[in-house]
Amino acid sequence: MKRMIPLLPLLALAAPCFAEAPAAGESRAEEPRVETYEETLARMPAWLAERAPKAEAKAFSVDPARVRFLDLRAVANRSYGDTVADDGEGGWTDQGENHLRHAPWGPTDCNGVPFDFIRPDQNDDRACVILRSTRQPYLPDAVRGIAANLRADALYFLHAGAWPENGAEAFRYVVHYADGTTNAIPMVAGRDFGNWWIDARLTGLPRTARCVVGWKNSENRGFHVLRWENPHPERTIATIDIESACGPTAPIVEAITAELPDESPFALRRLRLKGWGGAEPALEDGALVLALSDASENWCGANVILPEPATFPADPAASDLVFEANSGRTPLGAEGPGGQTFQVAARFRLADGTEKSGPYIGPTVEGGRIDADPATWQTVRIPVRRLLPKGADATGVAGINLQYRVLPADRAALVVRAFRLEPDRP
């Protein structure tokens, strides 16, 4: 196959061939330098990168430095493969060739959450937990005592089901705290997990589902991810049990990841929120929801006040304020169509200890706009130099103001998460 060469560089190289010759007696003016073919090829990667479509953020935004994998090796009881269907032996869901293929080994990113996939050949061919159902009554009805011994802001579950009965509780996780208290987390099919056959045309989850696809193979078989926000992050989680409802759905659990407490100034649980103009800010499921109602007005918004200033990772003028945005629900509970427009201002801590706010900036959303898919997030990156008050000697960010520019016609909320300061991009 012949290599395709960009047209514009070729035209640039050919341009001298069409130059008009000087008249007799005229001196030839110095011709502009034309880049060489090697120079053209050398700059092509940067040229293409500038014009490449921006990637959407994943469904979750978990800092890998703040996760711990819970070890399921001791309780795993099934392999990914099976050879003979309905013989009461073998692995997976005992359906012969209808089993899971090509699962990864070790730490794997699953839609923004790191999970640890067990390597079956190093664990007696046991890779996951599958519990009792009416289809497989010989499997255990529970596994207990999965060690945690940590405090967590949230737990993430990578799981699925076989023969799911949508709307019915199929299994539950039971969190045991070190102080002796417990918290049961029911898992309802079609809401908290879906079929391991992941095919949106046939068995896709509804838009109201609390989980999203986490990992799937080339055959669209895999697992969903569910985030559970811990209502008691101050308590130590000692152990976790998994209990089947022993109904028609076979629970399948691949991995559990704990998100350790966030102690940074941008930690959502530490923020103070104040709305105005009918905006109703609230923290829900690991994100800040700037909710709207029939009473909301144009130019309404919210103050996001940090517990202490967030210091810059570099010179303020060489730093970016970054966060991720998504479309939220309408007052009637439906998912909005996206396209929310908003502006951002920041309040800064100055070198003399006082605070001062800068101008409002209309940010650029990577990808062009906030889309209507609740499972994808768009990154917003604003150079701090645009947010700084003129002449300010700022040492850190003390707060952020989010303000709607014009209310969406359906008053769908704006949802944001993962505030952070980063060095600006070259």
Given 233, 259, 285, the domain boundary residue is 259
Name the percent of the chain lying above pLDDT 70: 88
If asked whether residues 307 and 230 sit together in one domain, one would say no
If asked whether residues 97 and 231 sit together in one domain, one would say yes
Domain CATH code at residue 357: 2.60.120.430
Q: Convert the pLDDT of each residue in 109-120 to its tens digit.
A: 999 999 999 999
pLDDT attached to residue 10: 39
Which band of pLDDT confidence, cut at 50, 70 and 90, is reported for residue 382? very high
Residues 6 or more apart from 136 whose CB is under 8 A from it? 93, 94, 130, 250
If asked whether residues 300 and 215 sit together in one domain, one would say no
If asked whether residues 99 and 228 sit together in one domain, one would say yes
If asked whether residues 251 and 308 sit together in one domain, one would say no
Q: Answer yes or no: is 73 within a domain.
A: yes
Place of tokens 């101008």: 359
Using the predicted structure, report yes or no on whether residue 376 has a pLDDT greater than 90: no
Whole domain around residue 304: which residue ranges? Answer: 268-423
User: Is 238 within 8 Å of 181 (Cβ atoms)?
Assistant: no
Alpha carbons 371 and 338: distance in angstroms, whole number: 5
Q: Answer yes or no: is 32 within a domain.
A: no
If asked whether residues 241 and 387 sit together in one domain, one would say no
Question: Average of pLDDT values for 188-207?
Answer: 80
Alpha carbons 10 and 118: distance in angstroms, whole number: 52
Which band of pLDDT confidence, cut at 50, 70 and 90, is reported for residue 9? very low
If asked whether residues 238 and 314 sit together in one domain, one would say no
Q: φ and ψ at 120, to 5 degrees?
A: -65, -35
Q: Answer yes or no: is 39 within a domain.
A: no
Q: Convert the pLDDT of each residue in 41-63 to its tens digit.
A: 777 766 665 555 455 578 888 98
Q: Answer yes or no: is 274 within a domain.
A: yes
Using the predicted structure, report yes or no on whether residue 257 has a pLDDT greater than 60: yes
Using the predicted structure, report yes or no on whether residue 232 has a pLDDT greater than 70: yes
Using the predicted structure, report yes or no on whether residue 40 has a pLDDT greater than 90: no
Which band of pLDDT confidence, cut at 50, 70 and 90, is reported for residue 321? very high
If asked whether residues 81 and 179 sit together in one domain, one would say yes
pLDDT attached to residue 114: 94
Question: Average of pLDDT values for 385-399?
Answer: 94
Alpha carbons 422 and 402: distance in angstroms, whole number: 19
Using the predicted structure, report yes or no on whether residue 8 has a pLDDT greater than 50: no
If asked whether residues 250 and 380 sit together in one domain, one would say no
If asked whether residues 136 and 247 sit together in one domain, one would say yes
Specify the DSSP class assigned to residue 199. Answer: -
If asked whether residues 371 and 233 sit together in one domain, one would say no
Domain count, the chain: 2
